[in-house]
Structure 1
């Protein structure tokens, strides 16, 4: 079934999707299966490419396009050594949206836009929104501290209005959204739509192993923790026994397993030592991390893969937003999007009756 109700916003008009909902580019989670299911449901699915080689990304784009003719996006690392080639892949295949976890360079934005690709960086503060807007970004996604993965300290209810007041381009709100009430609230703030990660991870279309999904559903609102022990940056993760151990563990004891996982990630990436080191240097310059944080950062993808792909939470970790404490089911993407839009329309209409 498909939702008869429609909510037209700058997000839907820019991207061509039916509904102002974005499935965020979660590493190891947002693959072709989830992205195409999201696109078919009328929302914007974003492929996560940071954990893919260039060849894997091309294969994933082709697979999504083979599954659906609806618009979708790709999340890129602006500081990756092969970022230029990845941008050209989007141009070649006519991908509709390019999203970025870090600020894209002005020349990357220009190249994408001249080929009709919508540019949507993710930002965490008003000053970052101003910067990318001045460089030509079409819209931005802002995530509040409730969100999973790398996150900031300020709640969505505060960071969202600060960003809305700072730029004239559309803003997508992320962090803590999972239902139609949240979509209605975000639109009331003036946002162009919502971004959701954990809610899309917990669908039947997600490729995350079912036992891991069941673990997510078992956590309450206090089931996540923000820690810097994973990769040196604030990272919201499920409070598993492994993550609790990270909080208490002596850094010296982690040295050997960290090095081992870093080597494994280098092998999976297919990069030479020179390329791998260059990628790390560019990441350090872009994020201003210390060298100790950089060592941990190279380790993180394998920790997430262990949990989200291999299903081994004894040797891995699970990123997740606080919203996992409110999610109780595993609908399909179509069922989820239909439900959210229908509820948002109902909420907006009910609020309208309060006018006198």
Structure 2
């Protein structure tokens, strides 16, 4: 049996990315019901908001699901307390080190899977007791590191003994097969699930992905130390120009504040931050999560008949 499926009690080793303002109970439950692992995105939301999403997800599925915790959130301590109280099956973490929470999480049986952008952090997470790590390459949407998925994944696989989940640039069975060829035991998929029927974001966001071309997923924020991959639009171009002209970080951040909500809720194609990975341009349709996952699995098995899915 696939190691990730065994650890998480899921049918397929496909994890839905914890995309802030995108990954709600409806998307997470749909992915879990389809045999993958759905995630509710914690983002910067307070405890009461996440509690409602957890309750709703439990109404919609009896399958395992998880919560993605952004460790820079001002509510991180109360979110972790909620996860422990609710005995959530699994968490993924980003933007920090979950060390101080690990012992308490393990006591209630929560599996801990940090997102890592480097070998050093992967090794540190293994020593702290992580159950697996998600290796996310710079091809991914949202906040990114520097190394590519193809380069980073095999290096981390060779450096740790816990299972590695590959993320960044995966939207079909070819990507799944490639990840497993590099030594991964599972994949995390974000952008492809944006264009799922169960994803509740504004239709303009989905259309931005469907219409995107190969060079449309660009990176802003390098000068601030917080690079983010988004689809090219007026906001992204404005931020890039501000960076080139040497604007202070505070002014650049002010220009982009609230822009993810503007994209996901309002659908403003000029002023929203449409986070998406470089793989966006191969996505040409909107399908149910079940069809997305089953198609990925069939394609991967056709390419690599020995793949352990």
Q: Same fold (TM over 0.5)?
A: yes
TM-score range, shorter chain: over 0.9
Unpaired runs of at least 5, structure 2:
none
SS of residue matched to 1:29: coil
Q: 1:301 to 1:166 in 2, by over 3 A?
A: farther
* Aligned position for 1:200: 193
1:334 aligns with 2:274: no
Q: How far apart, CA to CA, are the structure 2 residues paired with 1:318 and 1:174? A: 18
SS of residue matched to 1:165: helix
Structure with higher Rg: it is 1
SS of residue matched to 1:206: coil
SS of residue matched to 2:258: helix
Runs of 4+ in 1 over 3 A off after TM superposition: 79-82, 229-232, 249-254, 292-301
Residue pair 1:229, 1:246 contacting (<8 A) in 2 also: no
> Which residue, out of 57, 61, 66, partners 1:64?
57
Residue pair 2:71, 2:95 contacting (<8 A) in 1 also: yes
1:92 aligns with 2:48: no
Aligned residues: 307
TM-score (norm. length: structure 1): 0.81
1:143 aligns with 2:99: no
**Greater length-normalized contact order (CA 8 Å, ≥ 6 residues apart):** 1
* Aligned position for 1:223: 216
Residue pair 2:196, 2:286 contacting (<8 A) in 1 also: yes
SS of residue matched to 2:305: helix
Q: How far apart, CA to CA, are the structure 2 residues paired with 1:64 and 1:23? A: 14
Kindly report the root-mean-square deviation, in angstroms, between the aligned alpha carbons of the 2 structures: 2.3
1:190 aligns with 2:198: no
TM-score (norm. length: structure 2): 0.92
* Aligned position for 1:27: 20
Shift of 1:252: 9.8
1:318 aligns with 2:274: yes
Q: 1:222 to 1:253 in 2, by over 3 A?
A: closer
* Aligned position for 1:180: 173
Q: Deviations over 1:103-146 (max 9, x none)?
A: 43323111111111100000100001011111111111011111
Residue pair 2:204, 2:268 contacting (<8 A) in 1 also: no
Q: 1:197 to 1:51 in 2, by over 3 A?
A: same
> Which residue, out of 213, 217, 237, partners 2:230?
237
